[in-house]
Amino acid sequence: MKKYYNFVILIICLLIPPLFSAEIPVFLEDAEGEISVILKVIDSQGNDDIDFLVKHRDISKQEKHKLIIEKMKKRTLDKQQAILDEIKHNLEYVSEYKSFWISNVVYLRGDAGFIRYISSRDDVENVFKNLPLMLVMPVDSAIATDFKTGSEPGLDVIGVKTAWEMGLTGEGSIVCNFDTGVDGNHPALLPSWRGSNGASVSESWFDPYTNTDFPVDSHGHGTHTMGTMVGLDGGDTIGVAFGAQWISAAVVDRGGGVQRTIADILSAFQWAADPDGDPSTSDDMPDVINNSWGVPTGYLGACDMTFWEAIDNVEALGIVCLFAAGNEGPFSSTIRTPADRITTQFNSFAVGAINSQTLEIASFSSRGPSGCDSVTIKPEIVAPGVGIRSCDNGGGYISMSGTSMATPHVAGAVAILRQFNP
């Protein structure tokens, strides 16, 4: 009799599909008050249609950009609609929300009880904490008092002068950084800002916090990384691709006591994918994004997938994403997320630092192997990152050390390669 009873219960459970079946994450179980999360929406369709467009050689870059973004927007709207309707019907429990198309996620800030409720829906695949992001801070810095002419030693190490002699300076390419901002008035950077070259402010500068209409940098880090990519001031060449133009998203460590989070980076990826908001144009889109941020090991699990879809979709549009490996060396398996990803040989390219004088790996540079499998070699590439002189706030120059100083060398090289082979 007992076996028969259990069998009946099993049949009933199988015949009645639950409306709310997702597993509630541990961090949500006892949460109280107002919290902030990222809802990952279930999508069983996959990216086959977008992958087809990426590989299709007979479609122009401009048409490909339009078709891919339209597919992203339609797919995410279709998948998210029921969740968005649920949120709109319960706005008394919601402080803020945003639907994304660069990744099939919804940012939600509100009452913990309501977020528990909506997270249990069967169309919610996963729930992530909207964690604060951390700038890959330089390990040391020193004001550069000597004015140099010529080019920086790091540029000699990567052999970029050979490209310059061939007329390859990055002309026609666009670089972008996700960083603390940029001092747009710096004489080595102002001429190459896209906003100085006929483009609108909104497609050249992304500042969702202070909404300034001109690039600013409250820290100096972003100004330094941009200088290494494109800086040129008279006879002083500090940038790898001084012929390229730049845009910037100021979404990391802006100061003022406000934490920048996963949602902020997703907003930046979405902006960079279509800076002018017109999918039918692609000449506003950057060729490369230099990322000087990450989540240190221990804050997220190894090989965390939070950012993967956004990165995949940005790269599907033709944008190269580079990540500073982190400054947690010399210990092994210290590559930050998402630079630790190993899905392919090209996604989430991690950049380590070497000393341009000795060519030795910098002691601070984060090491592999990747925490994804504890085997795969990381980082994929290294570049000069010790004592790198570049732009500082206020029009001056400063030397800094870190993998954030190495990564823009590679980003500048990408801009030159794109000029050679668009």
Helices (H), 284-324: 308-316
Give strand ranges (E) for 238-325.
245-250, 288-291, 293-294, 320-324
Mark 306-322 as b/e (b = at least 16 C-beta within 10 Å).
bbbbbbbbbbbbbbbbb
* Catalytic residue of the set 284, 292, 404, 409: 404
Distances (CA, A) of 163 to 16, 225, 350: 66, 21, 23
To the query of whether residue 404 is one of the catalytic residues in this protein, the response is yes
Residue among 153, 136, 178, 177 at smallest CA distance from 366: 136
**φ/ψ bin of 127: left (φ > 0), alpha (ψ from -120 to 50), beta (otherwise):** beta
* Catalytic residue of the set 111, 179, 233, 312: 179
Our CA dihedral for 236, 239, 241, 243, rounded to 10 degrees, sits at -40
Which residues, in sequence order, are CB contacts of 165 under 8 Å at separation 6+? Answer: none
Our CA dihedral for 153, 351, 217, 215, rounded to 10 degrees, sits at 90
C-alpha span between 71 and 166 (Å, rounded): 39
The DSSP result for 36-80, as a single string, is: EEEEEEP--S-SHHHHHHHH-TTS-HHHHHHHHHHHHHHHHHHHH
Three-state DSSP state, 265: helix
Q: Which residue has the tokens 């033709």?
A: 318
Three-state DSSP state, 111: strand
* Catalytic residue of the set 221, 267, 274, 401: 221
Q: State the catalytic residues.
A: 179, 221, 404
